[in-house]
Structures are given as C-alpha cells and as structure tokens.
C-alpha cells in the first residue's frame, strides 16, 4: 500500500485550480483526511456526478472516471452519481445560454446505460451507483429557502459565464442559479470527503459544495479539479456532445477507431496523456519523436486508436477495426469487405435512405454532407437532395464520409 505522501501525489496528479494557494490548500486537506481515515480504519468517501443530458458518455468523461479509479485502487469508497434530478435543469457552467429543460422520462431513458458505460473504467464490484433524485426530489420549498440562505446572488453572478451574459444583456434564468445549490446538496446528502470534477465544476465544487456542507455542520469536502480537458475530434474545443466533436464510449469499434483517426496530429499527445495515462516523460518523448520525424504521425495515431478501442471494447475488436481501416484506406479501392447490405424496394430519395439506415442524424445533416461532397453513390458525389435510387440501379455502394458504407441491393426474390 502506498504511503500517505505517495497517495497524495497520485491523487493530486493532474489537478489544477487556477490558483497556487488553493491547490496547496487542497493538497494539505487531502493529506489530513487520508491520515485521519487511516487512523480511523475507514476509506474516504469520494464521488463524481454525471448528468444524463444525453444517452451516451464520451471519452472526455473518462478523465474524471480514471481519477475515481485511482481512489478505488487505493482502497477508497467511490460513488458514481447519476444526476437524475440535476439534469432536469442542466448545468449552466460554460454555457452562453440557458439549457433546454428535459423531462423526467427523457432523463431516466438517457441514464439507463450510464453505469454500464462507467464500468469500462471503474471496478464494478467496488463502485456504488446512486441517483440524486433520491434526496433532491424530497426537498420541499422550505428546504430550498433554507439552503439558498447560505449564498448571495453576487456569489453566483461573478461566475464567468453568468457575468458574460449579464454584460451582454442576455437573460439569466432564476432556475439556473439552483444548479450549484443542488450539486452542493449532493455533497451534503452523501457526507462526502472528496468530490472529483472538471474545470467547469470549479464553482459548483469549491464554492457551492464546500460552503453548503459547512453551513449544514459538515466538514467541507476536498475538491479534486482535473486541470486539462480532452479536446474533441476538431482538436480545439473541449469534447462535447452538443458540439458534435465527441467520441461516445458506446461507439462501435470501427466508428470509434475512425473518429480517433480523425483527431488532428497536434492533439495526439493529450489523448495519450489523458486517455491512455502516459507519463509526462512518455508524452515528451512522443512530442520530440513527432517533431524530429522519428515517429510517423499516422502510425502513432493508429496505435492510439487501437489502444482506445481495446480499452472500451477488446483487443480483438481493435484488430478488426485496424483491418477494416487498412481495407478502406490502403487497399480494395477504398471499400471494406464486410459492408452491410440494405434493400431498396422502390424508388427512394437517397436522403431518405440515409435517414432510414441511420447513416445521418437528420435530413439537415444529410443536406450539409451533400453540399460538402460527403455523400457518394458508387464513388460519385451526390449533391442534389432530390436525387433518387431505384432497384434498377442496384447493387450500388452508398458512402457517407470516410467511414460509413452500405451496399444497396434490390429486394430478394
């Protein structure tokens, strides 16, 4: 078992607060908690919350999960908290406008597979899964008033995203202020020692959570705020489902492999660091190898893609995805051997075929792809949204982007 000081180094690795004194305070408090827990013979109570605003978690979420896994590996008590109630509002952190409110039915449908996705990283046997409507849904209006009395409006309005909206004359809705209050109460309800979160949770954890615990007679939790965010497939902006630059944990192996391969070369080092856990020395060697051309960017990216697919699926799935990538981009005229088939029974717009086969998310997306030469029939661009296909033109290969293929065939006799 690592010593207390070794545990502190492991658990504080990657944590950043934008302020050296705050980081030192959190390091000191964590060390004190670890010493006390060891003397008392109990683990620390640690959690991180995940709001099911959509049905899938993505690779960016796994950064905090890996920190939870470090706590698990050191013998601490970890809770994977599903924000089944906070999702009804939606976290306003880093948002320029108010989020659309979801219904309870939408939230619970989205949350249905969250824990299974989390177990790709967390130890199933050591993870407690809870839903925060367990305690938030039972609060009455008097409870809300009592909790809200611990804060001033000014404390919320100095948040950067609220301040920007206020300065720009954009609306800030009253219910958005409740989010930090509710997340703070999550810490109170669980009597947590430590909460893990990303940079966008700095206020919710450091201010709301700690202050509310203190107001309720509890010792304020230690905040472990992860310093770096994973950029999306654009290599620039934080990975986000709403921006469409995300790589879902539930991606099929081939799709996950292809999305990793689409990440710009400059973003590779941070993927190796945050997703594969490479050390600073390994990352520096990678960067130097790429600069000196000793390492080929495409070969390193294929290694990255294989390892990521191997983590979230299996080594066999990673090898199959690699094989398919080679088939598409290195041989067979760019067409995979194991292409799925779909029947076209009568004349049908290609746009409608794309939607029927879930090759696009909407008709609007299909039209945009067509404008960008991203839709091809037998390797010829389809740019007219009214273009049709009929059984007399089949078989034919329909392609969307670089990774989605289907062989269209006439109905079987």
Name which of 261, 286, 266, 276 is nearest 312 in CA terms.
276
Q: What is the mean pLDDT of residues 271-280?
A: 91
pLDDT, averaged across the chain: 87
Q: What is the mean pLDDT of residues 260-283?
A: 90
Q: How far apart are CA 211 and CA 206, in angstroms?
A: 8
pTM (predicted TM-score): 0.74
Residues contacting residue 358 through CB under 8 Å, at least 6 positions apart:
none
Task: Report pLDDT for 95.
Answer: 46
Domains of the chain: 4-225 (3.40.50.620), 253-334 (no CATH), 341-409 (3.10.290.10)
Q: What count of other Cβ atoms lies within 10 Å of the Cβ of residue 8?
A: 18
Three-point CA angle 256, 258, 262, nearest 5°: 115
Query: Tell me: the pLDDT tens digits for 371-401?
Result: 888 898 877 788 888 888 887 777 788 989 8
Task: Report pLDDT for 45.
Answer: 98
> What are 189's two structure tokens?
């309800």
Q: In which element (H, E) is residue 27 found? A: helix 20-40
Where do the H-state alpha helices sit in 153-237?
Answer: 153-157, 160-167, 174-190, 202, 210-215
* 3-state class (DSSP) for residue 129: strand
Task: Report pLDDT for 96.
Answer: 46
Q: What is the mean pLDDT of residues 326-338?
A: 64
Residues contacting residue 183 through CB under 8 Å, at least 6 positions apart:
49, 83, 86, 91, 201, 204, 205, 208, 209
For residue 98, name the pLDDT band (cuts at 50, 70, 90). very low
In this structure, of 125-139, 174-188, 277-291, the range with the lowest mean pLDDT score is 174-188
């Amino acid at each position: 078992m690592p010593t207390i000081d070794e545990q502190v180094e492991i658990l504080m690795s990657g944590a950043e607060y934008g302020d050296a004194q705050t980081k030192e305070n959190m390091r000191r408090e964590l060390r004190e908690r670890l010493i006390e827990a060891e003397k008392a013979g109990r683990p620390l109570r640690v959690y991180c919350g995940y709001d099911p605003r959509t049905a899938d978690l993505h690779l960016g979420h796994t950064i905090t999960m890996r920190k939870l896994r470090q706590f698990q590996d050191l013998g601490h008590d970890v809770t994977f908290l599903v924000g089944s109630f906070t999702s009804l509002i939606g976290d306003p952190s880093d948002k320029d406008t108010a989020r659309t409110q979801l219904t309870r039915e939408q939230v619970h449908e989205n949350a249905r597979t969250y824990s299974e996705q989390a177990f790709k990283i967390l130890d199933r046997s050591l993870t407690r899964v809870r839903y925060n409507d367990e305690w938030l849904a039972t609060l009455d209006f008097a409870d809300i008033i009592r909790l809200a009395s611990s804060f001033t409006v000014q404390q919320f309005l100095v948040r950067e995203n609220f301040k920007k909206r206020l300065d720009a004359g954009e609306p800030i809705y009253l219910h958005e202020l409740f989010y930090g209050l509710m997340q703070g109460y999550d810490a109170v309800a669980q009597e947590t020692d430590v909460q893990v979160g990303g940079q966008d949770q700095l206020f919710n954890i450091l201010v709301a959570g700690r202050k509310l615990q203190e107001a309720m007679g509890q010792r304020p939790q230690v905040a472990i705020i992860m310093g770096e965010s994973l950029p999306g497939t654009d290599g620039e902006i934080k990975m986000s489902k709403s921006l469409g630059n995300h790589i879902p944990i539930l991606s099929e192996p081939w799709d996950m492999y292809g999305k990793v391969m689409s990440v710009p070369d400059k973003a590779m080092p941070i993927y190796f660091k945050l997703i594969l856990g490479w050390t600073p020395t390994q990352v520096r060697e990678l960067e130097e190898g790429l600069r000196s051309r000793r390492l080929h960017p495409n070969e390193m990216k294929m290694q990255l893609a294989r390892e990521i697919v191997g983590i979230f699926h299996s080594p066999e799935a990673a090898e199959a995805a690699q094989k398919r990538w080679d088939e598409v981009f290195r041989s067979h005229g760019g067409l995979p051997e194991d292409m799925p088939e779909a029947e076209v029974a009568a004349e049908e717009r290609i746009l409608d075929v794309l939607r029927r086969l879930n090759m696009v998310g909407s008709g609007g997306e299909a039209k945009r792809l067509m404008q960008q030469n991203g839709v091809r029939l037998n390797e010829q661009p389809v740019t007219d949204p009214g273009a049709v296909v009929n059984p007399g033109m089949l078989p034919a290969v329909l392609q969307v982007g670089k990774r989605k293929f289907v062989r269209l065939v006439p109905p079987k006799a």
